[in-house]
């Protein structure tokens, strides 16, 4: 059995994937290997769940909707070993789920809370090997945006600072039930080696990025006036008159590290 029928709930932002070609594409992109610890966020009707379970034999899923727990469990009989964590994903401790190893995350993320989920997962990056998520295409565009782009912002910098972000393919609305009003896309995130990232103080880095983009029209001199002086910007080779959207990720890290070192 590939999946079961359950009416999508609007309040949970549920859009169930029904396109077999796209499902195969996702499973192929994930390419599970023996020994992988696979965790799916929001299995819904099991469109990705059961093809992954069939291929891999073992899967943990995190599902908040109580009405989906029993059907998921029953549909897994004879397919593979399915562990269901009935919880809000924002309350899940991914470090604990990973145990001694690292997990591989997969999910068609609920569109109404996709950004908070991404930030929550980032906090557990050390215990994540990679992530394959389906999100609104507009969010994926922001995640992967380069400096100078209109959509390059806080999400782009925070994600790219700690992960390699690769958009894989787009997914049209008719691939879902109900069809969302927007296009979707699948993205791969691979956490970088923390030693190579070199962020000294994550809270300070986050504050610098947040303030820099809080009012996009402002120059960095003005936007970051609470965080640093014009001299501190110049000390790391940043022009105070440019805007946040023009500053590469590496420069945000250099600035935050300079401030963390008392520079």
3-state secondary structure the chain: CCCCCCCCCHHHCCCEECCHHHHHHHHHHHCCCCCCEEEEECCCCCCCHHHHHHHHCEEEEEECCHHHHHHHHHHCCCCCEEEEEECCHHHCCHHHHHCCCCEEEEEECCHHHHHHHHHHHHCCHHHEEEEEEEEEHHHHHHHHCCCCCCCCCHHHHHHHHHEEEEEEEEECHHHEECCCCCCEEEEEEEECCHHHHCCCCHHHHHHHHHHHHHCCCCEHHHHCCCCCCHHHHHHCCCCCCCEHHHCCHHHHHHHHHHHHCCC
First to last CA, the chain: 61
Q: How far apart are CA 6 and CA 54, in angstroms?
A: 21
Please count the CA atoms within 13 angstroms of the CA of 164 that sit on its side-chain side. 8
Closest to 211 in 3D by CA, of 145, 262, 164, 255: 255
Q: How far apart are CA 192 and CA 99, in angstroms?
A: 19
Task: Please state the residue numbers annotated as binding site for S-adenosyl-L-methionine.
Answer: 15, 17, 42, 63, 88, 108
Task: Please state the residue numbers annotated as binding site.
Answer: 15, 17, 42, 63, 88, 108
């Amino acid at each position: 059995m590939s999946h079961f029928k359950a009416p999508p709930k609007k309040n949970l932002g549920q859009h169930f994937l029904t396109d077999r070609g796209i499902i195969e594409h996702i499973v192929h992109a994930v390419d599970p290997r023996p020994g992988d610890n696979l965790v799916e966020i929001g299995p819904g009707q099991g469109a990705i769940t059961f093809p992954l379970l069939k291929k891999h034999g073992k899967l943990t899923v995190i599902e908040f909707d109580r009405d989906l727990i029993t059907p998921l469990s029953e549909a897994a009989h004879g397919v593979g070993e399915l562990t269901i964590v009935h919880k809000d994903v924002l309350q899940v401790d991914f470090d604990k789920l990973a145990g001694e190893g690292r997990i591989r995350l997969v999910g068609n993320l609920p569109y109404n809370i996709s950004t908070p989920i991404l930030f929550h997962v980032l906090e557990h990056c050390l215990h994540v090997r990679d992530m394959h998520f389906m999100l609104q295409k507009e969010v994926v565009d922001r995640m992967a945006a380069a400096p100078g782009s209109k959509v390059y912002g806080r999400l782009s910098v925070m994600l790219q600072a700690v992960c390699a972000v690769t958009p894989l393919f787009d997914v049209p609305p008719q691939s879902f039930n109900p069809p969302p009003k927007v296009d979707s896309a699948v993205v791969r995130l691979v956490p970088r080696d923390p030693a190579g990232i070199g962020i000294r103080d994550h809270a300070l880095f986050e504050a610098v990025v947040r303030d820099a983009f809080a009012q996009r029209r402002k120059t960095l001199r003005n936007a970051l006036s609470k965080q640093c002086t014009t001299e501190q910007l110049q000390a790391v080779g940043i022009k105070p008159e440019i805007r946040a959207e023009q500053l590469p990720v590496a420069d945000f890290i250099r600035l935050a590290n300079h401030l963390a070192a008392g520079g």
